[in-house]
Amino acid sequence: MKVFYFVCIVLLVTGNVVGCSKTKDPDPELEPGPGTGGPVVTPVVPVADPPLAATIGFFEQHWKPRSFTAPAYIEVTPAQASATATVTIDASKIITKIPPTVWGHNANTWMTNMVGEPLFMQHIKALQPGFIRFPAGSGSDIYFWNAERGGLPADVPAQIMNAVGQLIDGGYWYGKINESWTASLDQYYEVLKQSGSIGVLTVNYGYARYGTSADPVAAAAHLAADWVRYDKGRTKYWEIGNETYGDWEAGYRIDVSKNKDGQPEYVTGELYAQHVQVFVDSMKKAAAEIGQEIFIGATLYDAPTEAWMTNTTKTWNEGVLKNLKAAADFYIVHNYFTPYNENSTSSVVMNAGLTVPAKMMQHIKKEMQTYGAPVLPVALTEWNMWAKDSKQQVSNVSGLFALAVMSESLVNQYGMALRWDLFNAWENGNDHGLFSDGNEPGIPKWTPRPSFYYMYYYSRLIGDRLVPAQVTGSTAIKAYASTYTSGEANLTLINTSDKAVTVQIKANNLNFGKRLYYYQLEGSNDNGEFSRKVLVNGEGPSLAAGGPSNYVQLKARSHPVYEQVKITVPPLSAVILVL
């Protein structure tokens, strides 16, 4: 059985800037055992922050210095095996300051009213996602934020045209509703308030295409501007449409017999760019009226030309980038990483998470250069996997995949990364939801999936500056390091092999402290390589899926730091260490 392992290590060290000062130790009198020796102390040199990457840009405004607080712990024996790999944290360099925008999430309109679900609210408050996108993917292009059911504007047609030219029911969504199965706009705002999160909203671009008024673009832009006024600064980031290049989106193809402003049957990148200018003008004026600053994004396609693409998609980036005229503040990309609808192995899933973010960023940068567009911040506002039919999406490997995507988003300097999504549909395990929807046999609604636990601990233990981590002696280990302003350092290790690996940890320009703490996350022995469970420090769910219910109170494992710092990464595991 091929399995994957993850270890996240936080090293408490002495020094300043990227070095570490001593934290309050729960057991300050505990010393290393006889003959083992203590940590070696060397001089630490302060390191300046690098220039801000243009692809992060204003998203860095959410950066804050982080201070580490040592957790309560249970004493354990240190790793005894000989190390076969070495990871060196190089705190003499800083890759980037870490924006907290890379562990955000997507909510949607069909995930109940949210605020009336106590278990969901309990978990979302604990998770503290920071940024939550709404109203929901393709539903955004048929969403009328200020409409009640049955109360659409007169220029909204009952039917819209799909990609093959059929007129189908519009399937519209409404923001002014009060129903238990679907969330209103105000209920979304309440989730933001209670979880301390910032909004990311996608306005209805499709209406600019299928609207039947004399000027549908102006009507759609006015609707978006009124939303900005109503929002009153609760949302910082706005998107003009969802995946607007796709033939699956409302507005991709329109009934030209109903159109009154001469728009073509099929949308193009050039047309979209022209429309974005109208939206931005109206929305920025509305923001100025209420004394708020907002940032507005335009959609790009994330990969080079492929055989399946329509002409719209093939030419999308060229049309957008040549014609935006500096209207947008950032670019939006989406990616589901693994081969489309393939029953992918865990190695395929992990390789995609580890390699695709770099390929995507390289492509987008090349497109900006090719078409003479400015380099703007890049927001990955939907990410997940296509892998299906082996319960990949609800598995422990999905949690490891989440670590890879978030870490590579930092390495490749994305401004934002938001996981799709908090709640979806079971579909026999082909479910992107972070929580169970209640249709999973034997699993109650709102049970957190393994990815929840990986993202929960990752967001709590990562530092505030990303630094290099070099791996030697193993091709299976992937390493990501960060430092805290308060002095400590963090290391995330991902093991992509099916065997335990003992890693020796070394450092450049930082000193190890007295004690190491950790949380170990691992899959169980169910469902082959795609276990539906995650155990944290040996504690798991009482059910057939999910993780421990006491994740907030769960104590770390800990032992003193010796001259040689080692950790064994066991099968299908995640470990979070604190020194």
Q: Return the domain boundaries, the chain.
A: 5-98+470-578, 100-461
Q: Are 564 and 81 in contact (CB under 8 A)?
A: no
| Local confidence band at 578 (pLDDT 50, 70, 90 cut-offs) | low
Flag whether pLDDT at 16 surpasses 50.
no
Between CA 150 and CA 162 the distance in angstroms is: 22
The two structure tokens encoding residue 180: 């238990």
- The residue-averaged pLDDT of 413-429 equals 98
Domain 100-461 adopts which CATH fold? TIM Barrel (3.20.20)
Query: What residues are paired with 298 via a beta bridge?
Result: 331
Q: Are 260 and 291 in contact (CB under 8 A)?
A: no
pTM: 0.94
What is the predicted pLDDT for the residue at 127? 98
Phi, psi (rounded to 5 degrees) for 455: -70, -35
Between CA 213 and CA 221 the distance in angstroms is: 13
Convert the pLDDT of each residue in 240-277 to its tens digit.
999 999 999 999 999 999 999 999 999 999 999 999 99
| Local confidence band at 132 (pLDDT 50, 70, 90 cut-offs) | very high
Flag whether pLDDT at 169 surpasses 80.
yes
Flag whether pLDDT at 103 surpasses 70.
yes
| Local confidence band at 429 (pLDDT 50, 70, 90 cut-offs) | very high
Flag whether pLDDT at 32 surpasses 60.
no
How far is residue 224 from each of residues 142, 154, 298, measured CA to CA in Å?
13, 17, 14
Cis peptide before 135 (omega within 30 of 0): yes
Between CA 78 and CA 539 the distance in angstroms is: 19
For CA atoms 93, 99, 100, 104, give the dihedral sign.
negative
Burial of 214 (0-12, 13-18, 19+ CB in 10 A): exposed
- Please name the residue that has the structure tokens 């209670």: 194
Cβ neighbours of residue 23 closer than 8 Å, sequence gap 6 or more: 12, 68, 69, 70, 486, 487, 488, 513
Q: Are 491 and 5 in contact (CB under 8 A)?
A: no
Written as one letter, the residue type at 293 is: E
Flag whether pLDDT at 279 surpasses 70.
yes
Between CA 280 and CA 205 the distance in angstroms is: 12
